[in-house]
Amino acid sequence: MNKRDVKVFESPYEVAKNLSIELSSLIKRYSGQGRKFNLAISGGSTPKILFKYLLDTYGDELDWHSLNVYWVDERCVAPDSPESNFGVANDVLLRNILLPEKNIHRIKGEADPNEEVKRYRELIIENVAPDNNIPRFDYLILGMGDDGHTASLFPGTNDINSKDKVCIVTEKPDTKQKRISLTLETINNAKRIRFMVTGKEKIQILKEIFDENTNSDKYPASHVNNHDMIWLIDEDAAAK
């Protein structure tokens, strides 16, 4: 298990800044080698800070053509909805950099979720090289909710341990809103996983996940496990 590889930063801005340094370095490396860099991103307030920092600091510096962007999850809403993970990333970063449109692989939240999950599964299988017959993203960015969910895998999600599906349709328990999410199997198969977790409301969940003597299995975030996984958290989330 690699749950204790934790880096604490002063603020959400510093979390985003430090992740962007690593991410930009990898994009440069892959670009220089003529290789595709398959990145899967999440929504949320801290990733939004990350997108803004990447644009302001590296927008004109990086050769973005090696980057292929996918989504860890998406709400079943129109792309111009303020709830759309694609919409936020596109407004803040993607439409403002020299990234070919064909390199942006969004989940179509406006489509029928049962049909869209099949399309997105096939798109990933066709474009992301596998390892152990599972698509393997080069870099995957996750967040965590104050209920312990990650991606759109919520406590009680039936298919959290499903095999060979790549992505599934889920439902947010309180609102019943449909989502499409990568499966835990696909998430755990990534080359690198980075959690961005900020805010005082995450303190108790993190304590339980990091405490080996506590049964944290009810939290989907606790099931994420990878040989190269780092938790980047701010001081509020790390408070004792």
From CA 54, how far away is CA 96, in angstroms rounded? 11
Average pLDDT along the chain:
96
Q: What is the pLDDT of residue 240?
A: 65
pLDDT band at 89 (very low <50, low <70, confident <90, very high): very high
Contacts of residue 195, defined as CB under 8 A and 6 or more positions apart, other chains included, come to 142, 143, 144, 150, 221, 224, 229, 230, 231, 232, 233
Q: What's the mean pLDDT in 174-181?
A: 97
pLDDT band at 1 (very low <50, low <70, confident <90, very high): very low
Q: What is the pLDDT of residues 178-237, one digit of tens each?
A: 999 999 999 999 999 999 999 999 999 999 999 988 889 999 999 999 999 999 999 999
- R_g of the chain, CA atoms, integer Å: 17
Q: What's the mean pLDDT in 134-162?
A: 95
Residue 14: count other Cβ atoms within 10 Å of its Cβ.
17
Q: What is the DSSP string of 14-75?
A: HHHHHHHHHHHHHHHHHHHTT--EEEEE--SHHHHHHHHHHHHHHTTTS-GGGEEEEESEEE
Q: What is the pLDDT of residues 96-123, one digit of tens each?
A: 999 999 999 999 999 999 999 999 999 9
Q: What domains lie within the chain, and their CATH numbers?
A: 6-238 (3.40.50.1360)
Percent of the chain with pLDDT strictly greater than 90:
92
Q: Could you tell me how many residues make up the chain? A: 240
Q: What is the pLDDT of residues 13-30, one digit of tens each?
A: 999 999 999 999 999 999
Q: What region, left, alpha or beta, does residue 137 occupy, with left being phi > 0 and alpha being psi -120 to 50 degrees?
A: beta
Percent of the chain with pLDDT strictly greater than 70:
98
Q: What is the pLDDT of residue 191?
A: 98
Residue 2 has pLDDT above 50, yes or no: no
> Please, what's the b/e burial string for 86-108 (b: 16 or more CB within 10 A of its CB; e: otherwise)?
bbbbbebbbeeeebeeebbbbbb
From CA 86, how far away is CA 88, in angstroms rounded? 6
Q: What is the pLDDT of residue 4?
A: 72
From CA 128, how far away is CA 142, in angstroms rounded? 18
Q: What's the mean pLDDT in 48-59?
A: 98
Q: Comparing 113 with 162, which gets the higher pLDDT?
A: 113
DSSP 221: G
In 3D space, the residue among 136, 187, 186, 137 whose CA is nearest the CA of residue 166 turns out to be: 186
Q: What is the pLDDT of residue 87?
A: 98
